[in-house]
Amino acid sequence: MKYIFVTGGVVSSLGKGLTAASLGTLLENRGLKVALQKFDPYLNVDPGTMSPYQHGEVYVLNDGAETDLDLGHYERFTNTKLTRFNNLTSGQVYQTVLDKERRGEYLGKTVQVIPHVTDEIQKRILELGQKTGADVVITEIGGTTGDIEGLPFLEAIREFTLDVGMSNAIFVHVTYVPFIKAAGELKTKPTQQSVAKLREIGIAPHILICRCEQPLNKELRQKMSLFCNVPYEAVIEEKDVEHSIYEVPLMLQRERVDDLVCRLLQLEVPSADMSHWQDIIRKLIAPQHQVRIGVVGKYIGLNDAYKSVFESVSHGGVANDCGVQIERVDAEDIEKNGAAATLKGLSGILVPGGFGERGIEGKIAAAGYAREHGIPYLGLCLGMQIATIEFARSVLKLEGAGSTEFEPTTPYPVIALLDEQKKVTQKGGTMRLGSQPCRLVEGSRAAELYGTSLVHERHRHRYEFNNLFREQYEAAGFSFSGTSPDGKLVELIELKEHPFYMASQFHPEFQSKPSAPHPLFRGFIAASLVHQSRR
């Protein structure tokens, strides 16, 4: 088994996850089985309890693990199926070590960062390899070199490579080469310093992946090669992409990074055939059509808060050879200025998931505007709940209808907690989480789009549609086109008399890939295209 460790230097937000995922794409297309994992140095057990302002999106896996958004890149860029074993935080490491200590498993020893914490980290690398039977395990270390909390992880991977042997493990350092406007130059000093920091810990990178806004010239490459002690051909340029993040694997292939990795790890495999990937890029760069989709949220200014949603919308575009311009709409702007003023002219409206009361009335107004004006609507989780509330208030005339999440005393709790959720007191990992089966109603738009009658989709929510109101809704033409197999939990709703009005209690955005766009996003963009051409 071979191992690649990806570290980051100089600044955060360099796109280390994308780089790791893109390496995965290239190696997979050379016929290798890859496994990807992310180590996060923070002390939270998982990101599930963190605010989107702190962490961006929480990405949910089939097994219900709430993980870092980089795992979303891993799933979108490769064919690996991830589980909770693919994301490890310091919080989890310490929890395991402390539990062992309480059980007396350290037999009277002093429990220390080295070797007990580092051993626990190394175990996870080995375990992932064994569980997946991968040829190559790619491990991304979160944070930036030099962070105090990242040290045990770096120490662990240093020791690990000693054990598995130098030809079986390599270090890839993703770094930043800033362009200083006043000097009109790219600067290599931050990279030199960050590599020096790594070498201080005993890690000498084999490959430097340089994130930059301008191309690296020969002199700069030579300089970094010399000062950072890596061969000239191992200084790789990773410029900002022009159109889409899916260009990164092709960019790295042009820089021959996969050839280099295979040579260093002594892997004899054919070169990667990326023609299908090139086709995706062509559709992203030069699509036949174009639509404007409004995404209505409350963290809309944050790039990372709705990552998988934005990606899935673009996959829906790929499926329709259609470019998607995403308009980020702040739900509170709708509350201030009205739905018509804010949403006019859009080809489709999407309301993603969310928690808490802020912006709710704006989202309800958006769902109402889409329903009344025949604009394609896709609701995801909270987006389904608010569509339901809007219908209750406007069509069923249930004044004050709402979700008990925001209005505990609403006279018509059309969205409410199930009894099992009422007993929950802990916050972490206690929602309805992960993949669950959903049966689709024959003849529904959902069944038509999926082309099957049973699907599995990922969940992350506490509240559910309240079945006390079900008949009333159905009588008014509101269809429950997907439910749990026992029929008790509402999973998908749609309006028959509308060009496209669909919303799911689950999160389809966690299962869409550019190479396999999710049916709901494909259908949504197709309908948006029709809506736009009619106008």
Active site residues: 381, 507, 509
Of 143, 297, 353, 508, the one binding ligand GLN (CB under 6 A) is 353
Query: Is 100 a binder of ligand GLN (CB under 6 A)?
Result: no
106, exposed or middle or buried, with CB in 10 Å at 0-12, 13-18, 19+? Answer: middle
Residue showing the smallest CB distance to ligand GLN in the complex: 353
Cα–Cα distance between 27 and 34 in angstroms, integer?
7
Sole window of 116-124, 237-245, 434-442, 457-465 interacting with ligand GLN (rule: CB under 6 A): 457-465
Of 381, 401, 433, 503, the one binding ligand GLN (CB under 6 A) is 381
Sole window of 69-77, 126-134, 165-173, 459-467 interacting with ligand GLN (rule: CB under 6 A): 459-467
Cα–Cα distance between 97 and 103 in angstroms, integer?
10
Angle 485-487-492 from CA coordinates, rounded to 5° = 85
Cα–Cα distance between 180 and 165 in angstroms, integer?
40
Tally of CB atoms within 10 A around 355: 17
| Binding-site string for ligand GLN from residue 424 to residue 443, where x marks contact by CB under 6 A and - marks none | --------------------
Please report how close the Cβ of residue 506 comes to ligand GLN at its closest, in angstroms: 9
C-beta closer to ligand GLN: residue 19 or 483 = 483
Under 8 Å between Cβ of 315 and 513: yes
Cα–Cα distance between 397 and 391 in angstroms, integer?
8
Radius of gyration over alpha carbons of the chain, in Å?
A: 25
Query: Is 461 a binder of ligand GLN (CB under 6 A)?
Result: yes
Number of residues that bind ligand GLN (CB under 6 A): 11
Residues 399-428 interacting with ligand GLN (rule: CB under 6 A): 405
**Residue 67's beta-bridge partner residues?**
59
C-beta closer to ligand GLN: residue 4 or 309 = 309
Cα–Cα distance between 293 and 466 in angstroms, integer?
30
**Residue 380's beta-bridge partner residues?**
504
Query: Is 382 a binder of ligand GLN (CB under 6 A)?
Result: yes
Of 94, 274, 355, 441, the one binding ligand GLN (CB under 6 A) is 355
Cα–Cα distance between 284 and 525 in angstroms, integer?
14
Cα–Cα distance between 65 and 168 in angstroms, integer?
30
Sole window of 36-44, 249-257, 350-358, 450-458 interacting with ligand GLN (rule: CB under 6 A): 350-358
Element containing residue 491 per DSSP (H, E): strand 490-495
Q: With H, G, I as helix, E, B as strand and everything else as coil, classify residue 339.
A: helix
Please report how close the Cβ of residue 403 comes to ligand GLN at its closest, in angstroms: 7
Sole window of 23-31, 112-120, 275-283, 454-462 interacting with ligand GLN (rule: CB under 6 A): 454-462
Please report how close the Cβ of residue 347 comes to ligand GLN at its closest, in angstroms: 23
C-beta closer to ligand GLN: residue 295 or 382 = 382
Sole window of 1-9, 13-21, 39-47, 456-464 interacting with ligand GLN (rule: CB under 6 A): 456-464
From the list 120, 131, 122, the residue with the least C-alpha distance to 35 is 131
CA atoms within 13 A on the CB side of 59: 25
**What are 335's two structure tokens?**
């509350």
Of 223, 289, 328, 462, the one binding ligand GLN (CB under 6 A) is 462
Cα–Cα distance between 506 and 379 in angstroms, integer?
10
Amino acid at 101: E
Query: Is 463 a binder of ligand GLN (CB under 6 A)?
Result: yes
Query: Is 323 a binder of ligand GLN (CB under 6 A)?
Result: no
Query: Is 106 a binder of ligand GLN (CB under 6 A)?
Result: no
C-beta closer to ligand GLN: residue 283 or 460 = 460
Q: Which residues bind ligand GLN (CB under 6 A)?
A: 353-355, 381-382, 385, 405, 460-463
